């Protein structure tokens, strides 16, 4: 999977790829390195050359794909479903509070 995101709140697609055993190439932006850990290879999302180089490496190196698949499974084990649900619930609650605060500010202007 190639995930070139520059603006990501969590990186759920990375966990989905790990669950499927799919090797991951993702941008080194935002929280993605924190989520994927050593289960992915990283590229600068503003560098097509950087991405192209990793794509070639991934396509031509079966051992690397297998290693990343194993590492992705290990990273996934850090994200239990209960913890992930609580994390997303907290994120949604914080987002709702921020949105309500923004609406209150707009109404008072």
Q: What is the pLDDT of residues 1-56, one digit of tens each?
A: 999 999 877 888 999 999 999 999 999 998 999 999 999 999 999 999 999 999 99
pLDDT score for 104: 60
Structural domain that includes position 28: 2-78
Within this chain, do residues 24 and 65 fall inside the same structural domain, yes or no? yes
Residue 107 has pLDDT above 70, yes or no: no
Per-residue pLDDT band for 86 (boundaries 50, 70, 90) equals confident
Within this chain, do residues 33 and 56 fall inside the same structural domain, yes or no? yes
- The CATH number assigned to the domain holding 68 equals 3.40.50.2000
pLDDT score for 108: 58
pTM: 0.74
Q: How far is CA 25 from CA 51, 102, 105, in A?
A: 8, 36, 40
pLDDT score for 22: 96
């Amino acid at each position: 999977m190639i995930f070139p995101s520059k603006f990501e709140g969590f990186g759920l697609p990375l966990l989905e790829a790990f669950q499927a055993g799919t090797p991951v190439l993702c941008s080194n932006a935002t929280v993605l390195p924190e989520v994927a850990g050593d289960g992915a290879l990283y590229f600068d999302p503003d560098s097509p050359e950087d991405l192209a180089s990793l794509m070639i490496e991934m396509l031509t190196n079966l051992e690397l794909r297998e290693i990343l698949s194993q590492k992705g499974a290990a990273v996934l084990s850090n994200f239990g479903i209960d913890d992930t649900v609580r994390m997303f619930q907290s994120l949604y609650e914080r987002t709702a509070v921020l949105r309500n605060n923004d609406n209150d500010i707009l109404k008072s202007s």
